[in-house]
């Protein structure tokens, strides 16, 4: 309760008792499948499930359940629904909006033990797997057959594919492979009353009424628990190239993006943006050396993926000659082996870790029309320069740095305010200012991370009253007792 002075525990909900634990134990049938902090002290074991990746959100759950079958999930949810015990679905707990950890004493239902791959069709590229499979493991599995999982992100070593679907995660190659809304062909989910919704379709086309699975994709665990997914995986490209550029202005970044689309067209698989501050922060936190000798205000990472090495290299060389010749790009490097390719990607993927390395981070994940995208970072930096809350040397100031990066190819900016410690004053300087700024430009306050607890008060900046009303009606249909992930965005 101390963590959230503005939130009140819903008094309708029952607290977990020893009898409830006995029921859960009987359903799960294994001591490894339950962390019981009700009948004994288990605070140390519960910590990882109560605390989020940014160490910003903290719950007080006393029991973690780790079912390994859909039937167990069904029995648990039915029981929780009948007994008004709230439930927090949890995957790899890498979410960045406080949706993955409880607010008060919700039961954590963690999917980590549901981690089997059921089938992979080598002709169609369709994978059917449990929700708790780690993203990296899913990609490794399909890679053996020459395919790629159509999602990649920095947290791939710990996030789960069910969590990716529940958040409709975007990631580093959405520009090429599209979103989960398009790639997921079917899923199995359990509703709060225990109903198992078997929509584990493996068809590419299926126009038979409402596409109900879409409500679970990006639903953030608000209407049920995803237990299995079926997903279409594209062919893995044998020829992959990565280039890293320095540019002198954001105008040049836009020009480079335009040229990349024109000249690299079908082989372009990622176009990522990093400002100089984000790269300096990455270098400082990781100790790594940046790829280019002299600093530049902006950097881009371009990846191409195609089927013919000679053809792709020729295209990339022509593109590079053009952008350097026209002085769109100031300097650049192309990876000439796998380890260099990985270290160029690390300059982009390592920003998340670096952003919170010196204390904590306020993260804003925004869709903004491209011409305006970077101005927000500049305005935000000016704001902290003038309000006296930021210094990179004075330890008494809460803010350490303001950095901007993101998925340029999807008009998705990540504005990060790196702090020495979380302070209300910093949050007040940012919210609702950031959301107003974005709404004025008809952007979205959540491009890919979701709303969770972090943005629950701000949904109206991106969705009309009518739409929020419809969402609430749907929530009531699926979860009339409101036990699923309560206190969050809906
Ligand atoms: P969790 O964090 O455990 O949960 C996230 C939400 O989904 C919660 O609301 C939870 O209740 C719900 N949920 C989880 N599993 C289920 C389920 N089986 N059924 C129903 N609800 C469920 N996101 C992006 O979009 N793009 C990125 O590029 C990106 N990069 C990241 C890099 C790092 C280093 C980190 C730490 C996070 C990043 N994220 C990114 C954020 C995050 O959304 C993803 O990591 C991931 O999709 C979350 O998966 P998870 O299994 O960890 O889910
Ligand atoms: C990213 O693109 O790196 C992720 O969305 C995570 C983050 O913003 O830290
Ligand atoms: Zn991202």
Which of 232, 248, 279 finishes a domain? 232
Q: In the β-sheet with 126-130, what is the strand arrangement from edge to edge?
A: 117-121, 126-130, 225-232, 184-190, 196-199
Atom of ligand 2 minimally distant from the CA of 412: 2
**Alpha carbon 468 to chain centroid, angstroms:** 22
pLDDT band, residue 1 (cuts 50/70/90): very low
The percent of residues above 70 in pLDDT, for the chain, comes to 100
Angle, helices 250-264/309-325, rounded to nearest 10 degrees: 150
Number of domains in the chain: 4
Atom of ligand 1 minimally distant from the CA of 226: 19
Which of 79, 111, 143 finishes a domain? 111
Model pLDDT, residue 309: 87
Torsion of CA 274, 276, 278, 284, to 10 degrees: 140
Domain presence at residue 328: yes
Q: Both 276 and 342 in a single domain? A: yes
**pLDDT of 132-191, one tens digit each?**
999 999 999 999 999 999 999 999 999 999 999 999 999 999 999 999 999 999 999 999
Q: Both 158 and 212 in a single domain? A: yes
Domain presence at residue 477: no
Rounded Cα distance, 50 and 326, in Å: 53
Domain presence at residue 474: no
Q: What is the CATH number of the domain that holds 147?
A: 3.30.465.10
Q: Both 300 and 405 in a single domain? A: no
Domain presence at residue 483: no
Q: Which of 290, 309, 306 is nearest to 298 (CA)?
A: 290
Closest residue by Cα to atom 5, ligand 2, is 171
Q: Both 221 and 263 in a single domain? A: no
Q: Both 52 and 40 in a single domain? A: yes
Q: Both 210 and 267 in a single domain? A: no
* Dihedral pair phi/psi, residue 481, rounded to 5°: -90, -5
| pLDDT for 2 beyond 90 | no
**pLDDT of 95-130, one tens digit each?**
999 999 999 999 999 999 999 999 999 999 999 999
Model pLDDT, residue 239: 96
**What pTM did the predictor assign?**
0.98
Atom of ligand 2 minimally distant from the CA of 449: 5
Average pLDDT over every residue of 348-373: 98
Ligand nearest to the CA of 77: 1
Q: What is the CATH number of the domain that holds 85?
A: 3.30.43.10
Domain presence at residue 210: yes
Rounded Cα distance, 308 and 486, in Å: 50
**Is the CB of residue 420 less than 8 Å from the CB of residue 398?**
yes
Q: Which of 81, 84, 108 is nearest to 12 (CA)?
A: 84
Q: Both 121 and 88 in a single domain? A: no
Exposure b/e, 167-181, CB count within 10 A at least 16 = b? bbbbbbbbbbbebbe
Q: 222 CB under 6 A from ligand 1?
A: no
Q: Both 98 and 157 in a single domain? A: no
Q: What is the CATH number of the domain that holds 325?
A: 3.30.70.2190
Domain presence at residue 490: no
Domain presence at residue 472: no
HSE-up (13 A, CA, CB side) for residue 478 = 24
Least confident piece of the model among 3-7, 78-82, 154-158, 401-405: 3-7
Which of 111, 130, 161 finishes a domain? 111
Q: Both 223 and 248 in a single domain? A: no
ipTM value of the model? Answer: 0.99
Q: Both 440 and 463 in a single domain? A: yes
Cα–ligand 1 centroid distance for 111 (angstroms) = 12
> How buried is residue 480: exposed, middle or buried, by Cβ count under 10 Å (0-12/13-18/19+)?
exposed
Cα–ligand 3 centroid distance for 447 (angstroms) = 8
Residue 246, C-beta contacts closer than 8 angstroms, at least 6 positions apart? 292, 294, 295, 296, 298, 299, 329, 330, 331, 332
SS3 of 128, please? Answer: strand
Full domain range(s) for residue 309: 239-351
Rounded Cα distance, 6 and 431, in Å: 16
**pLDDT of 190-218, one tens digit each?**
999 999 999 999 999 999 999 999 999 99
Cα–ligand 1 centroid distance for 166 (angstroms) = 7
Atom of ligand 2 minimally distant from the CA of 365: 8
Average pLDDT over every residue of 289-304: 97
Domain presence at residue 475: no
Closest residue by Cα to atom 4, ligand 1, is 100
Cα–ligand 1 centroid distance for 395 (angstroms) = 32
Which residue among 303, 345, 351, 403 has the greatest number of ligand 2 atoms within 8 angstroms of its CB, and so is best to mutate? 351
Cα–ligand 3 centroid distance for 172 (angstroms) = 7
**pLDDT of 257-281, one tens digit each?**
999 999 999 999 999 999 999 999 9
Query: Which residues line ligand 2 at a C-beta cut-off of 6 Å?
Result: 154, 351-352, 355, 363, 414
Q: Both 340 and 364 in a single domain? A: no
Q: Both 94 and 197 in a single domain? A: no
Q: What is the CATH number of the domain that holds 459?
A: 3.30.70.2740
């Amino acid at each position: 309760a101390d963590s959230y002075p503005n939130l009140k525990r819903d008094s309708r909900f029952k607290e977990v008792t020893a009898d409830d634990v006995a029921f859960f134990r009987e359903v799960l049938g294994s001591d490894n499948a339950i962390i019981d902090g009700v009948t004994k002290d288990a605070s140390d074991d519960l910590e990882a499930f109560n605390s989020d990746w940014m160490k910003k959100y903290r719950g007080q759950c006393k029991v973690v359940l780790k079912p390994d079958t859909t039937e167990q999930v069904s029995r648990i949810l039915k029981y929780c629904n009948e007994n008004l015990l709230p439930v927090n679905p949890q995957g790899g707990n890498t979410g960045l909006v406080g949706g993955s950890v409880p607010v008060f004493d919700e039961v954590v239902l963690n999917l980590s033990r549901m981690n089997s791959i059921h089938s992979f069709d080598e002709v169609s590229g369709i994978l059917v797997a449990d929700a708790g499979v780690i993203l990296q493991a899913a990609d490794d599995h399909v890679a053996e057959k020459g395919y790629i999982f159509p999602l990649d992100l920095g947290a791939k070593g710990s996030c789960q594919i069910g969590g990716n679907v529940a958040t409709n995660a975007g990631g580093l190659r959405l520009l090429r492979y599209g979103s989960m809304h398009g790639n997921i062909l079917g899923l199995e989910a359990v509703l709060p009353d225990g109903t198992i919704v078997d929509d584990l379709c493996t068809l590419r086309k299926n126009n038979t009424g409402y596409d109900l699975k879409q409500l679970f994709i990006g639903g953030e665990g608000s209407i049920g628990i995803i237990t299995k997914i079926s997903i279409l995986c594209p062919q893995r490209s044998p020829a992959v190239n990565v280039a890293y550029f320095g540019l002198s202005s954001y105008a040049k970044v836009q020009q480079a993006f335009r040229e990349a689309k024109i000249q690299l067209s079908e082989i372009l698989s990622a176009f990522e943006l990093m400002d100089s501050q984000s790269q300096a922060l990455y270098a400082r936190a990781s100790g790594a050396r940046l790829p280019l000798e002299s600093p530049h205000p902006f950097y881009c990472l371009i990846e191409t993926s195609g089927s013919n090495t000679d053809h792709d290299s020729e295209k990339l060389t022509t593109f590079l000659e053009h952008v350097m010749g026209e002085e769109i790009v100031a300097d650049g490097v192309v990876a000439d082996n796998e380890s260099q390719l990985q270290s160029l990607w690390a300059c982009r993927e390592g920003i998340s870790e670096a952003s919170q390395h010196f204390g904590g981070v306020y993260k804003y994940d925004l869709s903004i029309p491209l011409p305006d995208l970077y101005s927000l970072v500049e305005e935000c930096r000016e704001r902290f320069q003038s309000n006296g809350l930021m210094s990179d040397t004075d330890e008494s100031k809460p803010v350490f740095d303001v950095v901007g990066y993101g998925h340029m190819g999807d008009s998705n900016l990540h504005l990060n305010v790196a702090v020495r410690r979380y302070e209300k004053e910093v949050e007040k300087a940012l919210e609702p200012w950031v959301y107003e700024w974005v709404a004025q430009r008809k952007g979205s306050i959540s491009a890919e991370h979701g709303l969770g607890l972090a943005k629950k008060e701000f949904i109206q900046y991106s969705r009309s009253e009518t739409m929020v009303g419809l969402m609430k009606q749907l929530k009531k249909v699926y979860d009339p007792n409101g036990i699923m992930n309560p206190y969050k965005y809906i």
